[in-house]
Amino acid sequence: MEKKNWPLWEVFVRSKNGLEHRHFGSLHAADATMALENARDVYTRRNEGVSIWVVESKHITASNPENHGELFEPAQDKVYRHPTFYDLPDEVKHM
């Protein structure tokens, strides 16, 4: 019998309120409802999260590794582009 694979989904989990959703991994599911349930079982059974997003992997547009140079390697000599001259108060977390 032909084995059909379910589509691939990417899973994003918010680990606690106030934090952003982070990419946790991917899984297979027949539709969005099943993807959410599978994500709950695969990624959040040990109190890892308070909220889950799933998106079918085919809807993600990815950058091309061949363009790495022009996209991700800016000149390093423009120090004014890097906001490293500010003192951050301790209360500001997750920056």
Partner 1 sequence: MEHQSLYQYLLTLGDNALILGQRLGELCGHGPSLETDIACTNIALDLLGQTRSCFQYASKQLDGKSEDDVAFLRKENEYTNVLLVEQPNNDFAFVITRQYFFDVYHLMLMEWLSANSADETVKAIANKAVKEARYHRRFSSDWMLRLGDGTQESHQRVLAAVEALWPYTQEFFVPSEAEAWAASAGIGPDLASFKAAYYNDVEALLEQATVPIPENPYFQKGGKQGRHTEHMGYLLADLQYMQRTYPNMTW
Site residues (CB under 8 A) for partner 1?
6, 27-30, 33-34, 37-38, 41-42, 45
Nearer to partner 1, 22 or 31 (CB): 31
CB of 9 to partner 1, least distance (A): 10
- What does DSSP assign to residue 72? H
In whole angstroms, what is the distance from residue 71 CA to residue 45 CA? 38
- Per the listing, tokens 């889950």 go with 52
CB of 30 to partner 1, least distance (A): 7
CB of 27 to partner 1, least distance (A): 5
Cβ atoms within 10 Å, residue 8: 13
